[in-house]
Amino acid sequence: MDTRKIVIIVIVAAVVVVGAGLIVYQQQQATSPEQLASAPAPEIPAEYQDIANKATDLVASTLHVPADDVTVLSVQSVTWRDASLGCPEPGNMYAQVLTPGYLVTTQVNGNTQQVHMNDKGKGLVCPPERAQAPYQTE
């Protein structure tokens, strides 16, 4: 057999072995839903606790689930591009004014939900297909 063919076969075999090892490693590193469910809830800073509570109530009432099933993953102070809070409904018009508020990420039964809020804590659970990035994050 030609030396080049042997070298190519050895290289291909090495790539296959390394690739298989990488797949096994990634599977071992993956977090199962059970592990996520048992993970402690992230610590929300005290200054955002009221917003986190309002977002929890909003998600619970929107999705018709108990508030205890809602976990707040993060609260971020943002500025929205307009009064739609980054979640415009098709066909509606919104005041074109920078709007201070919050982007709250929650989890319910393993599903992530974004809550877009103004600085008074009023807002909505925003479907991913309508969600827009904030103008500015702080």
For residue 116, the model assigns a pLDDT of: 98
Task: Flag whether pLDDT at 79 surpasses 90.
Answer: yes
This prediction has a pTM of 0.70
Q: pLDDT by residue (tens digit) across 33-78?
A: 454 455 566 789 999 999 999 999 999 999 999 999 999 999 999 9
Task: Label residue 82 exposed, middle or buried (CB < 10 Å: 0-12, 13-18, 19+).
Answer: middle
Listing DSSP states for the chain in one string gives --HHHHHHHHHHHHHHHHHHHHHHHHHHHPPPHHHHHHSPPPPPPGGGHHHHHHHHHHHHHHHT--GGGEEEEEEEEEEESSTTTT-PPTT-----S-EEEEEEEEEETTEEEEEEEETTS-EEEEPTTT----SEE-
Which single residue is written with the structure tokens 């992230």? 42
